[in-house]
Amino acid sequence: MDTLPEDLGEDFFSAYLRTYVERDVRLMLEADDWQQFGRFVQLVAVLSAQEINFSQLGREVGITPQTGKRWLGVLKATFQWFEVPAYHGNTIKKISSKLKGYFADTGLACHLNRISSPKALGGHPMTGSSFETAIASEIRKLMSPLSRKAVVYHWRVHSGGAVDFLLERDGILYPLEVKLTSRPTRKDTKGFKALREHYPQQTIAPGPIISPTEKFEQLTEQDYVVPWDMI
């Protein structure tokens, strides 16, 4: 969503959220649920770009994990939330199987986290996850006109290696990492290295790191940095 003037943004998002919860969602939930659902939406905004733990969702809001899963389904059905499954390959027991979730509108997510302006976002704990959420939305947008879309995953091995996004198309894996730093280093490619070591027989494309840097830069023989505004 385009940035609104600060004095209008607060009113806009407050009105939008009130209309969404009190009118749209109210028609999809039990009579006693819709007010508590508003608290649930706020929690989900905090958890954008994280793996989904349904038990955690239930504890924080006072609902069962099953209700949390159902309410996330409502958010998805109303285009407020989307998910990225874990990539398993052939080593399913060693890999995280949890979904990662993303709030679809970063502006609304910031509003729910009491972030009033881009300046305030700069030093906020949600900055990194907001950046990853924005990149996730751009990936979806870029793939939307394609007749044969790549399947988007995330990947994490329990020993510590992880890749934010893993696109699979025609038997080829395209890894992509998101780093909120203007100076990525070779250390930031360790997730790509771990992925290649786990799947030595798999065709894996060179790995771009998307970051707020000013220029394209080669980091390793296979990996490089791409400015976020070039995607």
Q: Which residues contact 126 (CB under 8 A, 6 or more apart)?
A: 46, 109, 110, 113, 115
pLDDT of 22 reads 75
Torsion of CA 126, 130, 133, 137, to 10 degrees: 160
Q: What DSSP assignment string belongs to 156-204?
A: EBTTS-EEEEEEEETTEEEEEEE---SS--GGGGHHHHHHHHH-TTSEE
Q: Write the pLDDT tens digit of every residue in 80-111.
A: 999 999 998 765 455 677 899 999 999 999 99
Which of the two residues, 218 and 90, has the higher pLDDT score?
218
State the average pLDDT over residues 16-27: 82
Beta strands 217-218 and 223-227, pairing class: antiparallel
Q: CA 147, CA 162: separation in Å to the nearest integer?
A: 29
Domain residue extents for the chain: 6-81+105-129
Share of the chain above pLDDT 70, in %: 93
State the average pLDDT over residues 164-171: 95
Q: How far is CA 43 from CA 36, 74, 94, 148, 229, in A?
A: 11, 15, 29, 34, 29
Distance linking the first and last C-alpha atoms of the chain? 17
pLDDT of 84 reads 96
